Chains A and B, each alone.
Chain A
Amino acid sequence: MADKIGDRSATKTRAHADNFWVVSLRALRRDAAAMIGLAGLLLIILVTLLSPLLAPHDPLYQNYRARYEPPGGATYPFGTDDLGRDVLSRVLWGGRESLGVAALAIAIAMGGGVVVGLISGYYGGWRDVLIQRVTEVWLAFPGIIFLIVLVSILGTGLEKVMIAVGLTLIPGYGRLVRGAVLAARAQDYVLAARALGARDARIMFHHILPNILPPVIVFATLGLGSAILIVGGLSFIGLGVNPPAPEWGAMLLYARDKWRQAPWLSFYPGAAIFLTVLCVNLLGDGLRDALDPKLR
């Protein structure tokens, strides 16, 4: 009985949230810049997913007779690198690594942040104090430094970079979620659900979470941009992927001292990072404007 009524109130809150999304998306559609960002990002993701079909060459195949081919040729439109590998194919495949790692890192940070933030905000008390103290210590380590050290201890490799980036970002999400939960805790639908005896976990994940998700999503979208830059940066200082995997930051690293002979080696991966982050930021800006009721 209690559960049923709880369910109904959950449906209602979810309807409320759904409505919120619909309105927001409608607002987003009117925002030309955000739509360009969205379209660009979708295109980049699509191209990345289809890279096995689109890439004209094996990104790993070294053709020693075609080293340092300048771009513009029919066989190698983006030229070749120091080992005669096709730069176009490497940039296409590289997106899988760069985007994938950044996205998964954000997912880890978001998942971790949501759990930590919900517990901290919902229960309060000693759990909150403990989590907040740990968060403070965690945040006291400047991001990149912490990351570099973490990766150097864990060892290089994409999974490790992913975990390290995710771990360093958790506290930011945790704080955001906690703040939103504190605000939501006093709201009618939560009080109602609690009065009806719904279990804590159910209230947290069923009632509160859908309502606090919008700011988290915005934060995550904007965070994706910086995560791509960070993953690239780690590869750039030699703490990223293991060769020969093509990854944009790692490609920049290897192109770094070949700038004079082969400027295209840094241009294409650099442009790929830049365009992706630009699209993400355009979309993120639009999402923030659309989802932030204060600005609407």
Chain B
Amino acid sequence: MYKKTLLTLGILLLITLLSLSPLAAQEEGGTMTFAISSFDTLDIHVSGDGNAMGIAWLLGATLVARDNEVNYHPWLATSWETSEDGMLWTFHLRDDVTFHDGRSLTAEDFVWSITRLLAPETASPQSGRLRSISHAVAVDDTTLEVHMNDPFPLLLEHLSNTGVVQPYHPEFYEEAGDQFGREFVGVGPYVLEEVATGESVTLVRNPDYNWGPPFVMNQGPYHIERLEFVIIPEPSTVLAGLETGEIDYAAVQASDVAYLRTLDHLTVLEGSFQGMLPALHFNMSKAPFDDIRVRQALNHALDRQLLVDVILEGHGRPQYGPISSTIGGYWEGVEEIGYHYDPERARELLAEAGFADGLELEFKCLTPTFNTLCEVIQQLFGDVGITANIVLVDASVVFGDALAGNYDVMTLGYGASESDILYRWFHTSRMGALNPSRAADSELDRILDNTRKDIANRDMWVNEAQRHLVEQAYVAPIYRSVNFVAVNNRVQGYLENPANLATWAAFFNDATIASE
């Protein structure tokens, strides 16, 4: 926690210093080049790509904005209120916002966008997290009503942590037809110049942008003239581009950080991952993983600090509970009751469960992300007499296998910025959709139900859920991972939170770039 605060403080200090220096503060123009590993479409309703969603957010804006400390601020909505029963949210919109083609934004545009996002024909992979929304109504040009299916305390979080609920331009959508997604018109600080398929995405500054959220210094047009996102899937090529200065900004791997820090023209930032990834999931519908002793033994066999040292090169820290310490609702008690490395205890528990002579299991491993991690875990398991046979599976089949119960032990996990993920991930009613450990635990269900119903005591119930999950050991969290981003020093004045690349929008308001 403190590491990140320190980083934020440092950057704030940097910005203060920069704003005192007239030269840097006045600098406008320039091109900043980002390396991204993939891209699919700017039609974020149907995008499955984090980078695409991040870029799309620079082209648009959302109703509310969230700062690094998880406070919600007005953005396109100047204010909002919710009804007593939580079934109706009313947002009051700014009246001075225009699309890139000059047309004014109205509440109707939001209604159209939300309707399209939720329509079954759209088949949006994003719609799942917004299931609680029933429909939206435009009362007048600046008043938007969002009607709910159930009271959903975290609506603001979902409206602010990605750009998914940004206004589309309905007439432009019709006009673009098949090309929508390669063409886009929004209300954001940048205007789309070109999508060169498979190659790059180029944005130019929107000089009319004047509606930045209040917590950034510059609410007007951004300083950097042009942003170019170059698609480079190959990490060693990204590294080469950072070295030569052809790339200004890119996510990098932990193993390259030490080397990159030796280069004077680069700054390497780090941010914590939020959620529980990676974690081992144990298949509760399969013996012997329905035996709590086996699950606890597998937990005790993990030397989490070693995994941090080897896989993350010492960055990051062990994680014992189902949500990371950077999320609101985190309960510190998990550090105490979590399963610490204890191979002796692991062997004892295995012996008690009847596996004194060893246990052989199939270890499904998400490739390529966790290949190395799994190899180290395999050896740690071997040390306590567990033979884990690694089977590589890729992201698209992982969930199919998990939901069908077609695994013994599997690397899985989630990114989440709030604690409601516990309900969505572990509740019995979620089996078949999520709940990959396939736990049907009525006590856990009762606790999780209360996290949504008993809003007044929500914190207590969330703590309780964490305690229960650790005790039952349905999963073995491993570590809180760290994301790294390398930035060329000619870029100055940015607020960066690499935990979430999609937050580019809010954090480049004040950035400038030195000319070459």
Residues of A within 8 A of B (CB): 60-62, 64, 67, 82-83, 156-157, 238, 242-244, 254, 256-261
What is the bound-complex CA distance between A142 and B438, given in angstroms? 43
- Output the residue of A62, A156, A254, A259 with the most chain B CB within 10 A: A62
Answer whether residue B392 sits at the interface, using C-beta atoms and an 8 A cutoff: yes
A62 and B376 contact, Cβ closer than 8 Å, known pairs A238-B367, A238-B368, A258-B255: yes
Chain A nearest CB from B37 CB (Å) reads: 12
A257 and B255 contact, Cβ closer than 8 Å, known pairs A83-B376, A244-B378: yes
Name 29 A/B residue pairs within 8 A (Cβ), A-sorted. Answer: A61-B379, A62-B375, A64-B306, A64-B309, A67-B310, A82-B255, A82-B372, A83-B310, A83-B372, A83-B375, A83-B376, A156-B367, A157-B391, A238-B367, A242-B391, A242-B392, A243-B371, A243-B375, A244-B390, A254-B371, A256-B235, A257-B235, A257-B236, A257-B253, A258-B255, A259-B236, A260-B239, A260-B259, A261-B258
- Output the residue of B235, B365, B375 with the most chain A CB within 10 A: B375
Query: Across chains A and B, which 9 residue pairs bring their CB atoms closest together, nearest first?
Result: A257-B235, A244-B375, A257-B236, A62-B379, A243-B375, A156-B392, A243-B371, A242-B392, A242-B390
Residues in B295-339 with C-beta less than 8 Å from chain A? 306, 309-310
Chain A nearest CB from B250 CB (Å) reads: 13
What is the bound-complex CA distance between A137 and B513, given in angstroms? 55
What is the bound-complex CA distance between A64 and B259, given in angstroms? 20
Chain A nearest CB from B258 CB (Å) reads: 8
Q: Is the CB of B236 within 8 A of A256?
A: yes
Chain A residue nearest to B252 (CB atoms) is A257
Residues of the A chain whose Cβ atoms lie less than 8 Å from the Cβ of B375: 62, 83, 243-244
Residues of the A chain whose Cβ atoms lie less than 8 Å from the Cβ of B392: 156, 242-243
Chain A nearest CB from B243 CB (Å) reads: 9
What is the bound-complex CA distance between A254 and B253, given in angstroms? 13
Residues in B374-433 with C-beta less than 8 Å from chain A? 374-376, 378-379, 390-392
Residues of B within 8 A of A (CB): 235-236, 239, 253, 255-256, 258-259, 306, 309-310, 365, 367-368, 371-372, 374-376, 378-379, 390-392
What is the bound-complex CA distance between A137 and B379, given in angstroms? 46
Residues of the B chain whose Cβ atoms lie less than 8 Å from the Cβ of A258: 255
Chain A nearest CB from B389 CB (Å) reads: 8
With A64-B309, A243-B375, A259-B236 known, 16 other A-B pairs at CB within 8 A are A82-B255, A83-B375, A83-B376, A156-B367, A156-B392, A238-B367, A243-B365, A243-B372, A243-B392, A244-B378, A256-B235, A257-B235, A257-B253, A257-B255, A260-B259, A261-B255
Residues of the B chain whose Cβ atoms lie less than 8 Å from the Cβ of A157: 391
Residues of the A chain whose Cβ atoms lie less than 8 Å from the Cβ of B365: 243
What is the bound-complex CA distance between A259 and B368, given in angstroms? 18
What is the bound-complex CA distance between A256 and B255, given in angstroms? 12
Residues of the B chain whose Cβ atoms lie less than 8 Å from the Cβ of A260: 239, 259
Chain B nearest CB from A257 CB (Å) reads: 5
Q: Is the CB of B390 within 8 A of A243?
A: yes
Residues of the A chain whose Cβ atoms lie less than 8 Å from the Cβ of B368: 238
Chain A residue nearest to B309 (CB atoms) is A64
Residues of the A chain whose Cβ atoms lie less than 8 Å from the Cβ of B310: 64, 67, 82-83
Q: Is the CB of A243 within 8 A of B376?
A: no
What is the bound-complex CA distance between A238 and B309, given in angstroms? 25
Q: Is the CB of B374 within 8 A of A243?
A: yes
Q: Is the CB of B259 within 8 A of A261?
A: yes
What is the bound-complex CA distance between A169 and B186, given in angstroms? 52
Chain A residue nearest to B380 (CB atoms) is A62
What is the bound-complex CA distance between A261 and B262, given in angstroms? 12
Q: Is the CB of B239 within 8 A of A257?
A: yes
Residues of the A chain whose Cβ atoms lie less than 8 Å from the Cβ of B239: 257, 260
Chain B residue nearest to A250 (CB atoms) is B371
Chain A nearest CB from B482 CB (Å) reads: 17
Chain B nearest CB from A97 CB (Å) reads: 15
Residues of the A chain whose Cβ atoms lie less than 8 Å from the Cβ of B372: 82-83, 243, 254
Chain B residue nearest to A244 (CB atoms) is B375
Residues of the B chain whose Cβ atoms lie less than 8 Å from the Cβ of A67: 310
Chain B nearest CB from A220 CB (Å) reads: 30
Chain B nearest CB from A67 CB (Å) reads: 7
What is the bound-complex CA distance between A261 and B236, given in angstroms? 12
* Selected contact of A257 from candidates B256, B306, B371, CB within 8 Å: B256
What is the bound-complex CA distance between A67 and B314, given in angstroms? 13
Residues of the B chain whose Cβ atoms lie less than 8 Å from the Cβ of A82: 255, 310, 372
Chain A nearest CB from B238 CB (Å) reads: 9
Chain A residue nearest to B379 (CB atoms) is A62
Chain A nearest CB from B2 CB (Å) reads: 28
Residues of the A chain whose Cβ atoms lie less than 8 Å from the Cβ of B253: 257
Residues of the A chain whose Cβ atoms lie less than 8 Å from the Cβ of B256: 257
Chain B nearest CB from A260 CB (Å) reads: 6
Residues of the B chain whose Cβ atoms lie less than 8 Å from the Cβ of A62: 375-376, 379
What is the bound-complex CA distance between A62 and B378, given in angstroms? 10
What is the bound-complex CA distance between A259 and B310, given in angstroms? 18
What is the bound-complex CA distance between A82 and B372, given in angstroms? 9
Residues of the B chain whose Cβ atoms lie less than 8 Å from the Cβ of A259: 236
What is the bound-complex CA distance between A169 and B187, given in angstroms? 55
Residues of the A chain whose Cβ atoms lie less than 8 Å from the Cβ of B374: 243
What is the bound-complex CA distance between A254 and B239, given in angstroms? 15
Chain A nearest CB from B244 CB (Å) reads: 14
Residues of the A chain whose Cβ atoms lie less than 8 Å from the Cβ of B235: 256-257
